[in-house]
Structure 1
Amino acid sequence: MKLALLCTLLIGSHCLMAQSKTRQADPVVAYDTYVQQAVRDWHVPGLTVTVVKDGTVLLKKGYGVRELNQAEPVNTQTLFAMASTTKAMTAACLGMLVDEGKLHWDDPVLNYLPDFQLYDPAVTRELRVRDLLTHNTGVGNADLLWTIMQIPSDEILHRMRLVKPVYSLRSGFIYQNIMYLAAGKVVEKVSGQPWETFIRQRIFEPLGMTRTKALFREVTDPNRAWPHVAVNDTVRVVKNKREEGAVDAVGPAGSVWSCSDDLALWMQCMLDSGRYRSGQAEARQLLKPATWAELFKPQVIVTDAQFYPSKVLTKPTWKTYALGWFQHDYRGHRVNFHTGSLTGMVAMHAQLPDQKLAVYIQGNLDHAELRHALMYRAFDQFALGISRDWNADLYKLYSDIQLRRKAAERRVDSLRVRNTKPSLPLTAYAGQYTDPLYGKVSVSVQDGKLVFSANDVMTGRLDHWHYDTFRLTYSNFWEGTDAVGFVLDARGSVARLSWAGTELLKTPEPTSKGVAER
């Protein structure tokens, strides 16, 4: 009996050791464990990770919770914002119309949007459909048109004629969301359907992406993630419908919401030359192979300033942008990828195409850059046989960036001139300030303090900083602070307000009838 018991124990021990080795050797188990640790390290409330290789889904899993301090877990059906990873879908929509012979990549945009104008008439005339997707039109960031205003999409495009260029056409690269709105309008003009209808009927439905929504206003399912922002090292939930819904105004640039189950279908299609399967039917083509390949052809060089901080670790030889995809080299392989960022939400879709490998990360914490760590770890784990702790390296990189940012803020604070007063009584700063591009700012006096409102969308209080500069503390905690300066004219009256990189002119006070007659 003792011998039998000993044999049993030895066999059991051997089996446990074998199981342990199997778990250690299983790359999916190892990667899953790695993700769990990264979620803890970065304090991300909720996350999904989807990994696809060689037509097979290796991993689809939710981590954490949809909302901090609530019990509902994230699962593979939980909806997250795709944000700017939507751009690859918008490019694919245009590609379908190219396949149908209804447009060409290098057609003038004026052929389809005759009223669309940029500041420079020559650029307006030369702008091609392809240019709408490559961030090299010469127009800088103009996101204030949709983040601080509530104006229709057509009005956003109309105001682009007022945005001064910061470089000449196709001579640089500055990330530009509103050109993707114009691309969506081209889809609408050519197809006769709004972009949100076209993408639903031509991508979501054929691929079986039954839970995916084109616009935020369509997200009514309770199984959705809530955005979170870390302020002073404390993670807090953001519940603001206007903030989340603002992106609908530039939908083709980043308004789609989806889940891990649906995204696996999109990932497989984009890996497999645009092919997909519907039920038991034979594979079909979402795009012709040549058009699918065109989406991934490098179109423009991306500068260091416009690329990601991770470059200091990966040291890419080249960095390019295709049609809705960033690209760079990694250990001799090409990477196609795109991040997505909205207030409190992050996403990343990445491919190692020669290895038929793709990974998609969704998270509900503002700029949670573990997405880069999980991307490179997936490449190493499932394709390249490398073991590097990207989580540790990128956590240190971004922590150092944050420390430098805080140091820069302290330097700005140190420049404050103490014991100064505004040049004028607070009532002199009150009034309406306008700009033809960015609308209206109202300043009023309430309870002895200046109160700020931009287009009745962004509000906050103005506290005196020094001289005629005030510090704006926004009403929404996640929006932080800004400097607001008032400029006086030669007569000593307030003439302009400087805020967010633009200057707004003060509207003259109404003149009484008697004065006007004189």
Structure 2
Amino acid sequence: MKSTLLFFTLLVSNFIIHPLWAQSKKKAIDPVARYDAYVQQAVRDWHVPGLTVTVVKDGKVLLKKGYGIRELGHSESVDTQTLFAMASTTKAMTAACIGMLVDEGKLQWDDLVVNYLPDFQFYDPAVTREIRVRDLLIHNTGVGNADVLWAAMQIPSDEILHRMRLIKPTYSLRSSFIYQNIMYLAAGKVIEKVSGKPWDVFIRTRIFEPLGMRRTKALFREVARETNRAKPHMEVHDTVRAVNSPLEEGLVDAVGPAGSIWTCPDDVATWMICMLDSSRINGKALLKPATWAELFKPQTLVTDAQFYPTQQLTKPVWKTYGLGWFQHDYRGHRVNFHTGSLTGMVAIHGQLPDQKLAVYVQGNLDHAELRHALMYRAFDEFGLGLSNDWSADFLKLYGGFKQHAKAAERKADSTRVLNTKPSLPLTAYVGAYTDPLYGKIDVTIKDGRLYASINNLLTGYLDHWHFDTFRLTYDQFWNGNDLVSFNLDPKGKVAKLSGAGMELTKTPEVTEKKTGER
């Protein structure tokens, strides 16, 4: 009897206690709360001043939150209205705009670019004749990085495109993937030519307004008026500092279709849901289903060298690029994603489409690679039921790269030949150095030292390193330093200046003629 009563008592007790235990357990394993706590710790571990994270699944927002502050030394917090740079995650929107024009029958993906932009010429005339609209969006033109045309000078977008004819290709057309921002500028010009509207107006009226993205801005000159925006930061000599970078100066506006948009979680959540669901939002679609699908269709293979170091840990079997999206496999699932990087700012937009899951991360610290960690962690947490500590793994991975970089810098310093002098007096190096592609570098003497001004934008002192090589230390401290060499002609006069991947020719001095001379 006692044993029966004891059994009954325990049974009743279990029924009474179990619901409370279940509630406690449910609360403890809530994935959103767990992920939120994970993000908070990651922000601390990576020393990122400010960050936003947006997660959507099955057409609903799971998380939309700001972390940290907009600028070091100031108290304003990041919230869901704080604007951050989208940087190259802009490219997906530009590709979608091209798709809209395809849907309207105004152009085709494989139309010749020269039919729309006859003045857009390449170094190789065969490329000029053959390049298609699709090629502008998939980084296979064979032309390498040409960001110097907007990041180190202030010239109009049409002039940027004009100077592309001076850049020698790295590969032949469509033979290999090589990332190229300026092709997206050309795509923006195609949009303008076909639609009759500048890219920034077209994207505002065709994407921002239909999706209710009221805070989102296409160009930095619009963002500059906003007070609730993040400030770029750089880590210099192991110290994180706010910077007035080229981003802050609006230089990226010249190549806007490649990466000038700024947005916030309240806005970008709608774009994320739209891109997961055949471009539909509130019962309407931005694109026809076939056109939307084309954006995510693999277009070209991506080599290991052109992919992200994260591959060392995620170990994808395949890597491709679509129309504005990188793609790879992850734990047997397909991932569509793109990063964004501008001086002092980062972003990443990732999709796990078979789980109807997407994550968007923005931060205000240069190359803060916790963005990758938070993307994969979100995939694990909300899509795959896993919990790998990607933040710790990537922190170790990128920390190793940082140490390698410091070692390489020390090795470079060790190659300096001591106790040498310049071949000529400092005054002999003074002058203007020009190149049709790279612009102009003015070298003067300031405070008894050589001083350089690059396209009236970047400046810094040139201090003797060895022989006729000088070390350029930028006033814009986040740019670090470069070695610059002066080359002499057979007569022993300074003829050229080379460094930072550029070579410029010294402009001959013009001697003022005396009265009566011819």
Q: Same fold (TM over 0.5)?
A: yes
Q: Does 1:364 align with 2:391?
A: no
Q: Distance in 2 between matches of 1:241 and 1:405?
A: 23
**Structure 1, residues 189-211: CA drift from partner, whole Å, max 9, x if none?**
00000000000000000000010
Corresponding residue for residue 271 of structure 2 = 266
Query: Residue 244 of structure 1 contacts residue 343 of structure 1 at CA under 8 Å; is this kept in 2?
Result: no
Number of aligned residues: 504
Corresponding residue for residue 399 of structure 1 = 399
Query: Residue 23 of structure 1 contacts residue 30 of structure 1 at CA under 8 Å; is this kept in 2?
Result: no
Corresponding residue for residue 425 of structure 2 = 425
Query: Residue 103 of structure 2 contacts residue 291 of structure 2 at CA under 8 Å; is this kept in 1?
Result: yes
**Structure 1, residues 293-338: CA drift from partner, whole Å, max 9, x if none?**
0000111111111100000001111111100001111011111000
Shift of 1:69: 2.3
Determine which of 257, 261, 272 is the counterpart of 1:256. Answer: 261
Shift of 1:173: 1.3
Query: Residue 182 of structure 2 contacts residue 258 of structure 2 at CA under 8 Å; is this kept in 1?
Result: yes
Shift of 1:239: 3.0
Q: Structure 1 pair 19/422, CA: closer, same or farther in 2 (3 Å)?
A: farther
Corresponding residue for residue 4 of structure 1 = none
Q: Distance in 1 between matches of 2:422 and 2:75?
A: 50
Corresponding residue for residue 289 of structure 1 = 289
Corresponding residue for residue 471 of structure 1 = 471
Q: Distance in 2 between matches of 1:456 and 1:243?
A: 16
Corresponding residue for residue 326 of structure 1 = 326
SS in 2 for 1:410: helix
1:161 partner amino acid: R
Q: Does 1:298 align with 2:302?
A: no
1:201 partner amino acid: T
**Structure 1, residues 354-403: CA drift from partner, whole Å, max 9, x if none?**
11100000000010000000010000000111121101100000000000
Segments of structure 2 that go 5 or more residues without pairing to the other structure are 1-13
Q: Distance in 1 between matches of 2:108 and 2:516?
A: 58
Query: Residue 150 of structure 1 contacts residue 246 of structure 1 at CA under 8 Å; is this kept in 2?
Result: yes
Q: Does 1:239 align with 2:244?
A: yes
Corresponding residue for residue 450 of structure 1 = 450
Segments of structure 1 that go 5 or more residues without pairing to the other structure are 1-9, 278-282
SS in 1 for 2:169: coil
**Structure 1, residues 22-66: CA drift from partner, whole Å, max 9, x if none?**
232111011001000000000001000000001011000100011
Query: Residue 430 of structure 1 contacts residue 445 of structure 1 at CA under 8 Å; is this kept in 2?
Result: yes
Shift of 1:512: 4.2
Corresponding residue for residue 280 of structure 1 = none
Q: Distance in 2 between matches of 1:452 and 1:11?
A: 80
Q: Distance in 2 between matches of 1:239 and 1:114?
A: 37
Q: Distance in 1 between matches of 2:155 and 2:16?
A: 69
Corresponding residue for residue 309 of structure 1 = 309
SS in 1 for 2:250: helix
Q: Does 1:27 align with 2:31?
A: yes
Corresponding residue for residue 5 of structure 2 = none
Q: Does 1:190 align with 2:190?
A: no
**Structure 1, residues 90-120: CA drift from partner, whole Å, max 9, x if none?**
0000000000000000000011111110111
Determine which of 136, 141, 144 is the counterpart of 1:137. Answer: 141
Corresponding residue for residue 482 of structure 2 = 482
Q: Structure 1 pair 147/241, CA: closer, same or farther in 2 (3 Å)?
A: closer
**Structure 1, residues 139-190: CA drift from partner, whole Å, max 9, x if none?**
1101000011111001111111111111100001111000000000000000
Identity %: 75
Shift of 1:241: 6.7
2:174 partner amino acid: R
Q: Structure 1 pair 488/276, CA: closer, same or farther in 2 (3 Å)?
A: same
Give TM-score scaled by structure 1 length. 0.95
SS in 2 for 1:207: coil
Corresponding residue for residue 204 of structure 1 = 208
Determine which of 65, 68, 75 is the counterpart of 2:72. Answer: 68
Determine which of 153, 156, 159 is the counterpart of 1:152. Answer: 156
Query: Residue 185 of structure 1 contacts residue 194 of structure 1 at CA under 8 Å; is this kept in 2?
Result: yes
Q: Distance in 2 between matches of 1:228 and 1:172?
A: 34
**Structure 1, residues 255-308: CA drift from partner, whole Å, max 9, x if none?**
00000010000000000011011xxxxx00100000000000111111111100
Q: Structure 1 pair 516/479, CA: closer, same or farther in 2 (3 Å)?
A: farther
Corresponding residue for residue 343 of structure 2 = 343
2:443 partner amino acid: V
2:273 partner amino acid: Q
Q: Structure 1 pair 18/470, CA: closer, same or farther in 2 (3 Å)?
A: same
Q: Structure 1 pair 105/503, CA: closer, same or farther in 2 (3 Å)?
A: same
Determine which of 229, 235, 241 is the counterpart of 2:234. Answer: 229
What RMSD in Å do the two structures reach over aligned CA positions?
A: 1.8
Corresponding residue for residue 412 of structure 2 = 412
Determine which of 207, 214, 218 is the counterpart of 1:214. Answer: 218
1:315 partner amino acid: K
SS in 2 for 1:156: helix
Q: Does 1:380 align with 2:380?
A: yes
1:271 partner amino acid: L
SS in 2 for 1:206: coil
SS in 2 for 1:462: strand
Shift of 1:21: 2.3
Q: Structure 1 pair 491/203, CA: closer, same or farther in 2 (3 Å)?
A: same
Q: Distance in 1 between matches of 2:414 and 2:24?
A: 57
Give TM-score scaled by structure 2 length. 0.95
2:209 partner amino acid: E
Query: Residue 83 of structure 1 contacts residue 341 of structure 1 at CA under 8 Å; is this kept in 2?
Result: yes
378-387 vs 263-272, which moves further: 378-387
Q: Distance in 2 between matches of 1:56 and 1:301?
A: 33
Q: Does 1:163 align with 2:170?
A: no
Query: Residue 68 of structure 2 contacts residue 78 of structure 2 at CA under 8 Å; is this kept in 1?
Result: yes
Q: Structure 1 pair 429/14, CA: closer, same or farther in 2 (3 Å)?
A: farther
Q: Distance in 2 between matches of 1:439 and 1:121?
A: 23
Shift of 1:131: 0.4
Query: Residue 229 of structure 1 contacts residue 236 of structure 1 at CA under 8 Å; is this kept in 2?
Result: yes
Q: Distance in 1 between matches of 2:21 and 2:513?
A: 94
Q: Structure 1 pair 240/302, CA: closer, same or farther in 2 (3 Å)?
A: closer
Q: Structure 1 pair 492/99, CA: closer, same or farther in 2 (3 Å)?
A: same
Q: Distance in 1 between matches of 2:16 and 2:469?
A: 75
Corresponding residue for residue 49 of structure 1 = 53
1:462 partner amino acid: L
2:207 partner amino acid: I
Corresponding residue for residue 91 of structure 2 = 87
Query: Residue 246 of structure 2 contacts residue 252 of structure 2 at CA under 8 Å; is this kept in 1?
Result: no
